[in-house]
Each structure stands twice: as structure tokens, then as C-alpha cells.
Structure 1
Amino acid sequence: MTARSGAALAKVVVGPEFGFDHLAWQSWLDEHINPAWRPGEWNAEAWLFTGDVDNRGTALRRCAVSACPTVLGAGRPGAICRRCGIDFDGIVDQDRETFLRAHVPNRRTLAGVAVTRCSIVWDGVQCTRHAITGDLCTIHYNSYRHHVFNKARTMSYEEWATTIARPFQDTAPCLIAGCTALLMSSGGLCTYHYRRWSSANRNAGGTLQMQAWTSTQAPYLGTCCFSLAPLPDLVRREVLYGLQHRDQFGQPLSPVAIRHIIQQLPELPTLVGQRDIVLTTLSRTQDANAQAKAREICWSVQVAFDAFHGIAPTDKDDLDLRAAGLKSPTRSGRRVNPRVVDLTAISQPWLRALLRQWVDIERPHSHMFNRAHKAISWASPVLAAQPGGGIDPATLRFADATAILDGFRTAAQSSGELYSSRYRRQLLGVFWKLVDFGRSADLLDLAGGFTRHASHTIPEEDVNEDEIGSAVPESVIRQLDAHQHLLGLDISYGHMPADAVAVMCQTIYIAFRDTGRRTREVASLPLDCLETTGGDISLVWDNSKSKRLRRRLPITTETAESIISWQRRRALLDIPHRSRNYLFPAITAAAGVPHINTSYVATILRSWVASIPELRDEGLGLDGNPLPFERSRIYPYAFRHSYAQRHADAGTPVDVLSELMDHASISTTMDYYQVSLKRKREAVTTMAIHSVDRSGRSAPFGSDLAYERGSVAVPYGNCVEPSNVKAGGQSCPIRFQCAGCGFYRPDPSFLPAIEQHINELRADREIAEAMDAAEYVISNLTEQIGAYREVVATMRYRLAQLPSERRAEVDEACAVLRKVRAGSRPLLPLTVVTPTTQTGQEDPT
């Protein structure tokens, strides 16, 4: 690398050292801390946070008892406080719902603070201090004990209260910043802090200075509060900065967890470089929530410390994607969790610097970064094997570019299997785009020969047509259906009840199985995803891949009923506000997307498949026993292939299936109709012996060759009339009234088409009768219906007589041949019309 390119791409990165200028660091934090952070919750003067239970960014809940003001930490919906729980346990004749609605808690104190005033009254003026013992404040209670008990009970309570006791009228607050309780004595402290001061001073041998002590004390902290006052000045600011920084990622703040961190935080002058010590201390408490919050705070402090020293995230070889501002691939783009990528495995410094500089300028999302990092990771060992190790980009030549091409051509997975040709081609293109970026931005001083030539391509490989789609076989889907009761068990989903989680998971599976939509399309289904028109039910969904919204897909009544059942259960749940318009809500209000995460959907499916005791494949092993099905083949997108393959095997016309799949090109749909020559030949061999004539009598072909050459496929069977065969089915002398033709040769693969034609003939007959058509027209339709019915009845009877193994073979052959026909263009028009001009002459064009 030249000096110019080195200066442009690389900076000297120095790690944090202890003994740095603490005052300068503290001043930097003061400049970057938002003084107006969380108005109404944060008291900057007192370093006190009092959470608002109505703020969705604060993890708090109210007690479910309507009349109880107690605030709880984040918990399940419907939770009640400990005292209301004790009250409920003491009631035997009231159900929970009535208790929550009608119970009125009787509290002398709430959240540790007295709520009743001292009962001493003089001349109509009541004591302003809080009642602590009985109905008296502490001073009056001590006076009462002295005069009534210590003097041999010579004075009654009434005499003491009317002659000696005088109400206090002071309204000054406690000296502790943020404490709203009234003074207990002339010492300037409330009851709570006076007790703490007395204990601390006693332990210090009476030498404790009150002013120094009060500066580090927090007010009484209820569930919704935490105070940074007990921390050293620098650590206070570091924790506050970390809390404000994590707010940018939409993560809820838990006062309970933060208070726990502050209580357990070791005595440290700073959090810089102390992550392991902090986490080790907190790990002893077994509080995973507090450990996670401490980890995030330490991360934010370290990122800020690097910025204080002028070190950007993209200057380091341990690249932190969240600190670098890379977006996640979610719809919101918000990255919640940090991710550090170690670039030191890339042996060429100029390649590492190129990737960092590209990230700094382009700010790609995670998917783009992953491909770029993968491409450079593939190219690096190839260059390392070249003379000079590829260290100096100015010495690279055309041979090095060719070597990189060979490396990408042979790139293999850990299993030794090559990556797909499409993936290798994409990553090769990404690598050269990065090199072009370095050249265009004048960051690299590369030799002219190190460039991509037109011959540097990876050819597209043909896909094995028998494995197109990777569909889950129907036999395996039937086994999955039999184990639906296991789906959603032991799955945690935020605060959602376990039974609701199970219903949601089962509905998601049914949507995959019955609709063939992509993972994201199912996860983001709108709440109003069902539409009924004329008795037909359609699923309303968004094709997010092609940006075609509000698409409609016909679905069965059973599928719709499962969705409706989940909608009813969902209506009873506490759903995050931003998920209100989605059928499958997000796990929390702070999730990256407002609906269930697609990766979590895959996790649910994998967990369910792993819990099923046995899954059998369609084939048999050498010992004659069923083969186990490879469970890794069951993933959300595989059900899309199953949906398409199910329709293709059933003979659904390719244009209809293309519309059902919402494919932009019909060529994409055609993949599901491709059948290997071997499978087609086997199907023809099987079907040739099951052909019948128009009367239902057996009329087998002599061979599979005779089946293919001596007949032509017409809409409802095969035809062996010579002139029609020669014309490719375009020269039927009786206009395709096949049931009355002696050359008609149907077989079981045409059964669905024949039955559909019978229904069409019946509809035509009803229309003819309504039109008062001539008798011979109606008779003709009636005779055709009867003839076709006889053909169908005969074939179904003969199929029923076959052994199960032979019947399965015939069914497979039928599916193959129907797929072949459905993937072809329409075979025959019902009428042949010669185009003419308006003058009646044939149009020569």
C-alpha cells in the first residue's frame, strides 16, 4: 500500500488507558448529556428518575386491582401487588375478576412512605408530620411513651394529648435532594433518612459529617424510581449517558433493573474499561435483566470514550456494527443489539481499510455488509497465496485477478459442498464493486492490470429438475398435522399467556401450509386479512418483495376459521400499541418490527419439528423400513414450494398457479412443472395399460411408445384418430365430443378434467333448458354427461380393485402426467375460427 492510500484508509487506533484526564472526560460527557432527557421523569438537580407508568418507554405496570395505586416492575399483564395478593388469598367467596374490580386496599403506607398524618390536633390545627407508629408521628409517640408509661401511668392519653402534645406546623422538605417527605426533627431529615443517618453515624463512631453524608444519599426509592446520587460524580455521568444513549435504540428503561445495578455497582472511579468487573459483580446476583442493562451501559460508555479520543467505530479492526450506524435488515432499520465483527482474519491491511472506509461512507444495512465482508474474506486467502501475499495493492496484476476468480469458483461450505453458482457470482460481483469503489474514491493505488475481465464470470449451473422447490412432501405434512398439539409448547413470547402462544403458532403454521406465502408475508399479515365476496373467502396480504400491496388469495373455509379463531383470542390480549394493525403482534413494544419477527418464526418451527418423536420419509431403506425424514428440510419457505408443487401435481394450469403465487413471470412458475424424461417415461409406461375406450372397456396401448406416438392429448383424454393425431389434435371431425367417439382413449390421469367437464356440461344443459332450446340439443348434452359418467365410474372401480402398492404407483404416474399437461400451453380450442377482415375476405396476415 502506498503512503497516500495508507493515510486515506488507516488511522492509528489506541485503546483506552487508565490515568487519562478524568476532568476532560467528565466535561465531554456534560456536553453530550441531554439536560432535557425524559421530561417529567428525570430530575437532573436531584439525579433522580421517577418513572411514568403510562410511558411505554418505561418498563412499569400498575397493580391489576383497580383501586390500588401500587406500581409494579415489568411483569405479566394482570399481575397484582404482594399486599393485594395476600388480601385475595384471604377471600374464599369471590372470583378474581370481581376482586380486581371491587377490592379497595387499606393501606397506612404505600411504597414505603406514610400516607396518613399524625392525629394530634390543637385548636383545630392538625400535626403536619406523617404518622409512623399508631396514629402518631415519631416525636409525639416518644413524648407519649415518656409521659404516659415512664411516669407510672399517672397521666392518661387524653390528658397528655390536650395539655402537653402540640402539633408541628413545619412544612420544610427533607435535606436529601429529591425527598418530598416532611422533616422529623430540627436535624433537617425526614423519618426515613433520620434513621439511616443515625445508623450510619453510629457505625462511624459518631464522627460522620452530615453534609458529606447527605450529598450521596438517595430519597426513598419506590418501584418506579432510581437515583444516581450514591455514585461518584464521573460514574453518575457515565451511567446517565449510557441510559440516554440506549434510548436511541427504543429499548424500554427498567427502573428496577437500573436501581439493582446501582446498588451492586463496585466502587470504581470510572466505567471505562471496567465492563468485565461490573458484569462479574452483577453475575453473583443472578439477575439477567440487570446484567443485560449493565452490559449495554458499559458498551455505550466505551463507544463514547472512543469518540472522546477521536476514534470512530470504523477506525477499528473489531468493527462494531451498531456503533458504526449500520441498519438492521428489519423494516424499521433499528439495530437493537450490538454486533462486533473481527476483521483481523483479513490478512491484507488495505482490504481491511477498504471495507471500513466503505462502511463509513455508504452506511449499508447488515445484509449488504455481510455480503461485502464474505466477499473480502474469500478473496483474502487467495491473495495471501500469491507471490507477495497481496500486501501491496500496487503490485497486483491480472494473474491475481484470475486467481481470485478461481477462488470464488471453488468456494465451498464447511460441509465441503460448493455454494450455489448464483451466490458465488453475486459475491464475486460484490468484491469487484468494492475495488471499484476504492478506485473511484481515490483511496487505492492499484495497478491497471488488477481488474475484472469480461471472461471472469462464474457460469450459471442447471438445477436438478427433480429437486426444484425443495418442497416438504405431502406425506410429511400429514405427519406434521398429526402433531399440531405440540406446536407452541414451551415457547415464550413476551408476556403472552402460554395458551395464546400455542394458538398463534398453530395459526402461523396453517397459514404457511395452506397459503404458500413467504415468511415475511405471513408474519406481516394485517389484522383484517380476511375478505368475503359472494361467499368466497380471500386472504388479503402484501407482496413486500415485489412491492405489490393488498393482494388477494382464495383460501378454504378451514383456513379462514383458524385465522378467525386466533383473531378472537388475540382480542383478549394486551397487544403492543404499534402492533394493533397486525395479525401476529411483536413480542414487545420495543421490537424492531411491529409484527412477529421472521427469525423468531423460524425458531418456533425448528423447535416444534425437533420435538416431534418421529418423521418418516416416503421411501424405504435397504431393510424395508421407512427412512427418517431430514428435519432440516422443514423451514418456513419450504411450505411455499409445497403449496406450488401441490397445485402443479394436481394439474392446475400454469397461468392460474402463476397468479396464485403472484409471480411476475410465468417462467418462474414453470419450474414447478418440469419433469425429468425418466419420470415421464415411467408414468407413460404405467398409464398405457390403464387406458379405456369410450364405453369404459379396457383398451391398453401396446407399449409406452405406442401411447406417445399413436395418440394425442385432447382436453379429456387421448385420441388415436389418425388425422387428428397427425394434426397434433387440431383436426377433430366431431368437434371434441369425445364421449361419442370410437377413437377416444381416456386414462386415470384425466379423471379431474373429465369430472370438471361433466360439471360444465350440466351447467350448459341448465342454460339450454332455461333458453327453451330444441330437444336434440338438450338430449345431446344429457347423453354426453351419461357417457362421461360411465367412463369415470369404470375407471374408479378398476382403480379400487388394485393393490395399495399398485394404486400408489398409478397415483404418482397421474400426478406426473397432469403436471406435464398443466405446464404446457392450452392444447385445443373448442372452435376453430378463421380470422377475416370486415369485408369477409381472409386476412393474409
Structure 2
Amino acid sequence: MTALSLVSAPPGAADTSPARDDAGWARWLEEHTDPCWRPTEWQQPVWLFTGDPGEPRTSVSLCRTAACQMLVSPTNSFCPLCRSAQKQSPVPDDEFARTFVPVRTRVYFGAEKEPCSVARDGQRCVRPCHCRGLCSLHYAQFNIHTRQGRSGDWHALAVPYTDVLPCPVPACPLPAVYARGLCRHHTHKFREHRRTNPHTPLEDWAPAQTPYLAAHQFSLLPLPVPLRQEVLYGLQQADPWLRTFEPAQVRRMVRDLSGVTTLVSEVSDQQMCPRSTVAVRRMMGRVRTAVRTGFTEYSGTAPAENDLLDLRALGQRSRTPAGIRHHKTVDLRTITPRWLRGLLRTWTIQQRPDADRFARTLWGVELASKALAQRPGTHEAAQLRYDDVTAVVEAFRCALKQDGEPAGSSYRMSIASHFFALIDYGRRSGAVSDLSAAFVRDPAAHRIVQEEAGEDEIGKAIPESVIRQLDAHVHLLGQGRARGRRTLAPADLQLMYQTLYVLLRDTGRRPNEIVSLPLQCLETRQDHTSLVWDNHKARRRRRRLPITASTAQAVRAWRKRRDQLQASLPPAGADYLFPALTPLATRRHLHTSYLSETLRHWAHSIPALHAEGTDSAGAPLPFDRSLIYAYAFRHSYAQRHADAGTPLDVLCELMDHKSVRTTQRYYTVSLQRKREAVSKLSAHVVDHQGLPRPATPALYELRSVAVPYGGCTEPSNVKAGGSSCPIRFQCAGCGFYRPDPSYLSAIEQHTNELRADRETAQAMDAAEFVITALTAQITAFEQVTDRMRRSLALLPAAERAEIEEASAVLRRARAGSGHSLLPLTAADHAHRDRP
């Protein structure tokens, strides 16, 4: 009879597991068990695990109460006594943990006891006190002395013991206190055993017993062989999958496995241990997965031959801090072509991809399978044709997300890239040796085009008015449900997240570029401070960005405090300004998910956030808080510079883009907002003398064209899109010149440039007509700006604010248009190289 037939399972639970040799299976487990697994915690000779509070991957620590020294599991929890008092206390948990002082009215097993009071010649009995200040043997002698009515002082006759007898149970930490040599814990257990087995000798009973277990310990001795070895093997294999190792869960699992003889069975976890909690059953599932995988290797059934892949058995782990993966097991039978199914199976087994890479490849394979299933002759790799590749790519172009919405072009391009990388792997490795040479991607015909942002798409930037409201409530950032409270004090946590917010708002860097800033990220040259950062997306390191003094001061304040906290932070993040807050993190710096979650909670904790504009009753409109996220501040940074008139090429450099077209996306303004801005500013149009020339919005757009310093209504220039001015853009003297308030900053800048030109002309001793022409242009432009500002000053404050906002919208639209003027000097390209 095999061990598989001895599995304790409820009636009706079929066991279809293959038979095997128990002795051979036990030898295989012993050979594949790591004898050096967790050397500071696991004691192989006695099958005992003792959690070390100093081990970061073991969930063991002192009781959360500051005055309590009891070890608990999981980490940051209360011991039973403190938990009972906390439930009855009205104070918050943090205050309770800081102020409560436990008073123990009884001595718990394993707690330190006072030594026996018997003493002679300066030597005191070292054995622990049992009753009336005496150890167990001295107390028994005292009772005999008293009952027999002997004369004399017993204490003067008693001889102190100089040694402490250990309990005969292996690895039991408690001392022997009774005549049999057992500790109190095992004395009670031995008495219960003798009630049903009165003739069992102590020498046979003690070696097979489990030692006294504290909250941070577990023992595998209660389990039979080979179940004991299976659990140990499964724990060792599952250890890398676990974020933390909780001894308390394993102890409960050992308790629930009573009556089970092996884990290699088709019986479900629920049927095997029906009384287990969800957490224990989850731990058991991981252990059983590893054991089953080991059994397939022992029995000669390779995992690659199965159509059901268990990714946990392959050790696949996500890149997220919690190690969560979307797929746990994958049924490859949904992939119709057998050659494609085998290729994916082989690639997964040999390459061991991470969760994200596997998910995208699997999605591409599933889409390709559906596309090929509708075409004849695609079940054989050698019969594939060029048209089959076209059908697969077309499936990628029409791919949908899991919610049924169309997938973005970047994601569809990524799916196609991962799928064809799998095909290339099959050719290189020989996994699909007969794959048709015609089944290859054509870079020209099978390209998925990157979609541009639509003209009607609303910008993702957070409005400046909302950012001002966020600045007013920045003291709330880092409070409440902020990530990292277990590592940093509340004040330090607030300072860290406030510094992160300042950097997001003032630098426009991507969230991952902010959280990964090096510790020495500031560089000062000639009283100008720059931020040193890495562009991970484009793989450009050590980039420099000029920042303001206030931003640099915020960074220095946090860095000073961070240096003081260095001892309490994980050592792996010593080189980062924002280190990881837990030693279990997969990255050495703070993860972007911590920042995103804390920002989201902060946005929802602000009492009121008002959007731009008012409703029909004049009340401010509420702002959609879901639009406040880390990456949105990058859009705000770009649009803030566009509103200030920053040239497109300068902003491209500030954003560290390779292409100006990428930067132009940050200038995108919806048609609706543009029409509203035109409607407001069309009533404030003036001519070249600064006199009002209002127009309807339709005429303003149809009969004028934007030039650098205003609108132009000259017909030939309008027809040419602003690039064919008859007088070469000398707008100050043109009767068709129509500026509006949105051009004020551009006109003033141009006026300053004209003044500089005039100074240069005077220094060059230029002709008088040149200086006169420049002076006339300066005077004309000053007349326009002075009259425009005086008319705006007469408007109510609310209307002026609306005009300023409309002006910003139009400046943003013009900055993103990429309009350029014709050169003032003609270039004859055809005859340039003639002698």
C-alpha cells in the first residue's frame, strides 16, 4: 500500500494520484532538501523553527506595546494580554501601544521566573520558583518535612541546587521542575497520555514530543514521515514566493494536517483540511504546489509536458512590491495550434519570464490563436503563409482591453512585439524547427501606427487654480492612510511626501524619475542650482534641470532629516533620496505605487476642491479628484511654461524630449475651450493704434490669422496662413494689425527686443532712418499695450480673470501649432553652390 492510499479525505473524494514507492520518494525529498535553509532559524535535528526578530523576511517581532517584551507573529501585532486590554481601551491603537504597561498576574510558559529562595553559605538555588518561593523539589521536601512533624528549621537544612535540569523533550526551552524531570508543560501532557496508555515509559514518550512552542515557533515533529519531509521541502520551495514568512501560519497548518499522510494527492485543500482558515489554506496551497511539482520531477513527468502551467511552481514573481501576479495557473488548451501551444510552454519553462512579460506574450498568443483558428492549414507550422501573419497583425490592431474598450496603440504595439519575439525565440532555439520561412513579420506592411492625441482630447494637466488649492492644503499630505507609517514617524512621513509633491509640481519629472533620485541630486554652479536626475524611459543618465531656490530648499530640508534617520532605514536604499521603506521591497528606492496611493488619499481628504468656472447659480464647480495623480503634474509643468510664453524648443529641452512633436502634445487644447477663449477675447480686439475693433467670434477666426504679435486681417496673408506679409511683419505700422490681450506678453517681449536693437544700431553708428524706424515701432507698440491695459483695468475683477484664463488658453494653442514665419532673407538653394 502506498502513502497515497492513506490520505485522510472525506467520503466521496476521489484519489486519482499515481502510485509510487514511498521509500524512494522519501529519499528524493531528503536529497533535494536544503540543509542550510534559514540557518539561524531552522534546527534540522529536532525539526524546529524559531523565528528571528532580526530576520527581515520573517514576520516576527516584539509586541506592538512598547513596554511589552513578548515575541509575536505576525509582525506589529499585540500579544494576547495586550490585545485583550486594547479591545477594552477607548484610546487609539498608536497611543495605546505607546502608553500601556502590561501587568501579568500569572507567569506564562517560557517567561523568566524568580529562583528558588533556598540558600546556604552565599549560594542560592538556581532552579526556578514553583510554590512558596521554592523550586519543585525543595517544595516537595518541605511538605514531607512538615507532614512528618520533624523538628528544626527546614530552610537551614535544605541544600541549594547549582544546576537546572533540562526537559527531556528535544529542544524544549523550559526547565525540568518535577520529579520525573519534565517541565510543567510536558508534565501535564504526559499525565494526559498516561490516562489512556498507563504503561508507556517516559524514555519512549519524550523523544517523540513537540517542544513547548512560543508564538514565533513551529515544529514538524507531529507529522508522520514522509509528510514531514514533504512539508519541509514545500516550505523551502515556497519561501522565495512569500513576501514574509509567518511561523504562526505554519504551526496552524501542521495542526490542521492531523490525519493526513501525504500532500501528493488530487484531494483539494478544502477537503484535506476543512477547518483551516483562508490564510492557512493559502499557505498550504503554495506548499502543495511545490510538492506536486517535485513529485512530477521525481516520477519523470516533466512540467513541460503538461498543458496546465502552474506559474507559482516556476517561481514567477511580479515586479510589484507585494509580488502579486495576474496569472497563477494557465490552461494552454485554449491555444488551438499545437505548435504555438508547445512553443509558449517551452519558452515559459526555459526563460522563466516575469509576470508582465508573460502576460503580454500570453495575450498576444491568444489573439494569434483566435486569428489562425479561422484560417485553414494553420495547425501545422510548416504550412503557414505570409497571409497568416497579416491576419495575426490585424487581430493585434483590433485588440480590446479586458473591459471591452479598445486598447491603446502603445499596448497593441507591445503585444505584437512580444508575440514576434516569441516566434524569433522558436526559430533560434529550435523549439519549432519546421516553422515556415514565410511566417515572418514585414516591417513595412505589418506595422501598428502610433496614434496621435485627438484634437478634442481634454488636456491632462491639473489647472493652476487647483494646484493653488493643493498648496493651501499641503499640510494634510502624509496624514491618514499614508504608506510607510510603520517605518517613519508621522512628521517624517509628512516631510517626505511633501518634498515629493514639491518636486512633482516644480520639476515636471516623471514619477519614477522622482522616487529614484540619487541622494546627491543637487548641483550648484555660480549660484544656480540644478536637479541631477536619470531619464529611465530614454535611458539617458545624469540629466540636469534648473530649479528654483525654494525647490532646492525643500530637497535640502528632507535630505538633512533623512541623514538623521539613516540608522532606521533599510540599508539597501542608502544611495537614494527616497529609499524603500521596507527591506522586503523589490526596489531599493520608494515605489511609485506608494506615492500614487498617498496622493490619491490626500486628494480625497481635502474638504473642497473647486474647478474653473461656476454653475448656473454662480456656485463654484467641484473638481474631479480622480484627475489628481502623479503623472498629471508633468502635464501641468509643460502647460505652465507654455502659458508663460516659453519657446517650444526650450520646453522640449526642459522636458528632455528627443522630438518637438512629443512636446507639442502637452500644448493640446480642446476645441471647446479654444472657442470659449475666442468668444471672450474677440470683444477686446484693437487695431495698430490701440483703438477698439471688436469682432464676432466667427469673423475673428475666419478673417484673421495669428502672427507673432497679434492677429492679421490682410487678405493675402490670411490666405497664406500668416506666412506672406507684404511689409515683412512690421505690424506696428499696418492697418490690418489686430492684437488682443492674449498677445500682451509677446508684444512686450518684442518691444524689449526692439529697444535692444536700437541700442545696437546706435552703437554701430547706423543711419538715422534705421534708428527712427525702430523708435517709431517701439512707440506704436507701447501705445497699443498702454491702451489695452487701461481698458482691461476698467473691467470687473471677475471678468479680468476670465480674460487672463482665455489668453492663457490661446497662447497654449498657438505654442502647439508650430507656426513659423518666412525668412526675411531669400535663399537661392538652386544657385547657392554655383561658382
Corresponding residue for residue 35 of structure 1: 35
Q: 2:207 aligns with which of 196, 203, 215?
A: 215
Do the aligned partners of residues 395 and 300 (structure 1) sit closer, same or farther apart at CA in structure 2, a change above 3 Å counting? same
Per the TM alignment, residue 137 of structure 1 is displaced from its structure 2 partner at its CA by: 0.9
User: Within the alignment, does 1:297 sit opposite 2:319 as a pair?
Assistant: no
Task: Find the aligned partners of 1:580 and 1:414 in 2 and give their Cα distance.
Answer: 40
Q: Percent identity?
A: 39
Question: AA paired with 1:146?
Answer: I
Corresponding residue for residue 743 of structure 2: 750
Corresponding residue for residue 296 of structure 2: 306
Contact between 2:43 and 2:49, CA under 8 Å: does it hold in 1?
Answer: yes
Structure 2 SS opposite 1:799: helix
Structure 2 SS opposite 1:215: helix
TM-score, normalised by the number of residues in structure 1: 0.76
Task: Find the aligned partners of 1:105 and 1:702 in 2 and give their Cα distance.
Answer: 84
Per the TM alignment, residue 269 of structure 1 is displaced from its structure 2 partner at its CA by: 1.0
Per the TM alignment, residue 140 of structure 1 is displaced from its structure 2 partner at its CA by: 0.7
Per the TM alignment, residue 31 of structure 1 is displaced from its structure 2 partner at its CA by: 0.9
1:51-82 residue CA offsets vs partner (Å, 9 max, x unmatched):
333333333334689998654445449x8996
User: Within the alignment, does 1:551 sit opposite 2:543 as a pair?
Assistant: yes
Corresponding residue for residue 443 of structure 1: 432
Task: Find the aligned partners of 1:486 and 1:337 in 2 and give their Cα distance.
Answer: 31
User: Within the alignment, does 1:407 sit opposite 2:398 as a pair?
Assistant: no
Task: Find the aligned partners of 2:264 and 2:17 in 1 and give their Cα distance.
Answer: 9
Question: AA paired with 1:143?
Answer: Q
Contact between 2:513 and 2:535, CA under 8 Å: does it hold in 1?
Answer: yes
User: Within the alignment, does 1:233 sit opposite 2:221 as a pair?
Assistant: no
Structure 2 SS opposite 1:248: helix
Per the TM alignment, residue 121 of structure 1 is displaced from its structure 2 partner at its CA by: 3.3
Task: Find the aligned partners of 1:178 and 1:294 in 2 and give their Cα distance.
Answer: 26
Contact between 1:396 and 1:447, CA under 8 Å: does it hold in 2?
Answer: yes
Per the TM alignment, residue 495 of structure 1 is displaced from its structure 2 partner at its CA by: 2.0
Deviates more, 1:803-812 or 1:512-521: 803-812
Q: 2:365 aligns with which of 371, 376, 384?
A: 376
Per the TM alignment, residue 506 of structure 1 is displaced from its structure 2 partner at its CA by: 5.9
Deviates more, 1:315-324 or 1:334-343: 334-343
Corresponding residue for residue 52 of structure 2: 52
User: Within the alignment, does 1:112 sit opposite 2:110 as a pair?
Assistant: yes
Output aligned runs, 1:489-500, within 5 Å: 489-490=480-481, 493=484, 495-496=486-487, 499=490
Deviates more, 1:525-534 or 1:240-249: 525-534
Question: AA paired with 1:342?
Answer: D
Per the TM alignment, residue 749 of structure 1 is displaced from its structure 2 partner at its CA by: 1.8
Corresponding residue for residue 839 of structure 1: none
Contact between 2:397 and 2:448, CA under 8 Å: does it hold in 1?
Answer: no
User: Within the alignment, does 1:276 sit opposite 2:274 as a pair?
Assistant: no
Corresponding residue for residue 242 of structure 1: 234
Q: 1:174 aligns with which of 154, 167, 177?
A: 167
Task: Find the aligned partners of 1:799 and 1:543 in 2 and give their Cα distance.
Answer: 44
Corresponding residue for residue 590 of structure 2: 596
Do the aligned partners of residues 412 and 663 (structure 1) sit closer, same or farther apart at CA in structure 2, a change above 3 Å counting? same
Q: 2:787 aligns with which of 794, 797, 800?
A: 794
Task: Find the aligned partners of 1:337 and 1:585 in 2 and give their Cα distance.
Answer: 27
Q: 1:434 aligns with which of 397, 422, 427?
A: 422
Task: Find the aligned partners of 2:291 and 2:326 in 1 and give their Cα distance.
Answer: 15
User: Within the alignment, does 1:671 sit opposite 2:665 as a pair?
Assistant: yes
* Cα root mean square deviation, aligned: 5.6
Deviates more, 1:406-415 or 1:445-454: 445-454
User: Within the alignment, does 1:419 sit opposite 2:416 as a pair?
Assistant: no
Contact between 1:651 and 1:815, CA under 8 Å: does it hold in 2?
Answer: no
Deviates more, 1:130-139 or 1:415-424: 415-424
Do the aligned partners of residues 609 and 706 (structure 1) sit closer, same or farther apart at CA in structure 2, a change above 3 Å counting? closer
Task: Find the aligned partners of 1:678 and 1:104 in 2 and give their Cα distance.
Answer: 66
Q: 1:198 aligns with which of 191, 196, 210?
A: 191
Do the aligned partners of residues 29 and 707 (structure 1) sit closer, same or farther apart at CA in structure 2, a change above 3 Å counting? closer
Do the aligned partners of residues 190 and 688 (structure 1) sit closer, same or farther apart at CA in structure 2, a change above 3 Å counting? closer
Per the TM alignment, residue 346 of structure 1 is displaced from its structure 2 partner at its CA by: 1.9
Output aligned runs, 1:686-765, within 5 Å: 690-692=684-686, 696-698=690-692, 713-714=707-708, 716-717=709-710, 746-756=739-749
Task: Find the aligned partners of 1:155 and 1:783 in 2 and give their Cα distance.
Answer: 130
Contact between 1:378 and 1:408, CA under 8 Å: does it hold in 2?
Answer: yes
Contact between 1:68 and 1:105, CA under 8 Å: does it hold in 2?
Answer: no
Corresponding residue for residue 12 of structure 1: none
Corresponding residue for residue 133 of structure 1: 131
Task: Find the aligned partners of 2:748 and 2:392 in 1 and give their Cα distance.
Answer: 60
1:755-778 residue CA offsets vs partner (Å, 9 max, x unmatched):
55677899999999xxxxxxxx99
Q: 2:449 aligns with which of 457, 460, 474?
A: 460
Output aligned runs, 1:825-840, within 5 Å: none
Deviates more, 1:534-543 or 1:799-808: 799-808
Per the TM alignment, residue 613 of structure 1 is displaced from its structure 2 partner at its CA by: 9.0
Output aligned runs, 1:748-787, within 5 Å: 748-756=741-749
Task: Find the aligned partners of 1:782 and 1:97 in 2 and give their Cα distance.
Answer: 77
Do the aligned partners of residues 383 and 818 (structure 1) sit closer, same or farther apart at CA in structure 2, a change above 3 Å counting? closer
Q: 1:347 aligns with which of 314, 328, 336?
A: 336
1:490-534 residue CA offsets vs partner (Å, 9 max, x unmatched):
456562579466665565555444433223223333455555666
Per the TM alignment, residue 780 of structure 1 is displaced from its structure 2 partner at its CA by: 12
Per the TM alignment, residue 813 of structure 1 is displaced from its structure 2 partner at its CA by: 5.4
Task: Find the aligned partners of 1:31 and 1:46 in 2 and give their Cα distance.
Answer: 18
Output aligned runs, 1:138-177, within 5 Å: 138-148=136-146, 150-151=147-148, 155=151, 159-163=153-157, 165-169=158-162, 173-177=166-170
Structure 1 SS opposite 2:52: coil
Task: Find the aligned partners of 2:50 and 2:411 in 1 and give their Cα distance.
Answer: 53
Do the aligned partners of residues 561 and 80 (structure 1) sit closer, same or farther apart at CA in structure 2, a change above 3 Å counting? farther
1:170-216 residue CA offsets vs partner (Å, 9 max, x unmatched):
555332111355444563434443343234323x2523343443233
Contact between 1:470 and 1:638, CA under 8 Å: does it hold in 2?
Answer: no
Task: Find the aligned partners of 1:517 and 1:603 in 2 and give their Cα distance.
Answer: 18
Per the TM alignment, residue 112 of structure 1 is displaced from its structure 2 partner at its CA by: 1.9
Task: Find the aligned partners of 2:365 and 2:604 in 1 and give their Cα distance.
Answer: 36
1:726-757 residue CA offsets vs partner (Å, 9 max, x unmatched):
99699989x98x87999976431222234556
Deviates more, 1:570-579 or 1:703-712: 703-712
Per the TM alignment, residue 138 of structure 1 is displaced from its structure 2 partner at its CA by: 0.4
Structure 2 SS opposite 1:552: strand
User: Within the alignment, does 1:365 sit opposite 2:354 as a pair?
Assistant: yes
Structure 2 SS opposite 1:344: helix
Do the aligned partners of residues 324 and 666 (structure 1) sit closer, same or farther apart at CA in structure 2, a change above 3 Å counting? same
Task: Find the aligned partners of 1:97 and 1:405 in 2 and give their Cα distance.
Answer: 62
Contact between 1:117 and 1:129, CA under 8 Å: does it hold in 2?
Answer: yes
Q: 1:816 aligns with which of 810, 819, 823?
A: 810
Do the aligned partners of residues 338 and 212 (structure 1) sit closer, same or farther apart at CA in structure 2, a change above 3 Å counting? farther
Task: Find the aligned partners of 1:83 and 1:682 in 2 and give their Cα distance.
Answer: 64
Gaps in structure 1 of 5+ consecutive residues: 1-14, 769-776, 836-841
Do the aligned partners of residues 560 and 291 (structure 1) sit closer, same or farther apart at CA in structure 2, a change above 3 Å counting? farther
Contact between 1:350 and 1:393, CA under 8 Å: does it hold in 2?
Answer: yes
Corresponding residue for residue 654 of structure 1: 648
Contact between 1:475 and 1:618, CA under 8 Å: does it hold in 2?
Answer: no
Corresponding residue for residue 576 of structure 1: 570
Per the TM alignment, residue 634 of structure 1 is displaced from its structure 2 partner at its CA by: 5.5
Structure 2 SS opposite 1:466: coil
Task: Find the aligned partners of 1:380 and 1:130 in 2 and give their Cα distance.
Answer: 73
Q: Tell me how many residue pairs correspond in the alignment.
A: 796
Question: AA paired with 2:210?
Answer: A
Do the aligned partners of residues 17 and 619 (structure 1) sit closer, same or farther apart at CA in structure 2, a change above 3 Å counting? farther
Do the aligned partners of residues 186 and 607 (structure 1) sit closer, same or farther apart at CA in structure 2, a change above 3 Å counting? same
Structure 1 SS opposite 2:512: helix
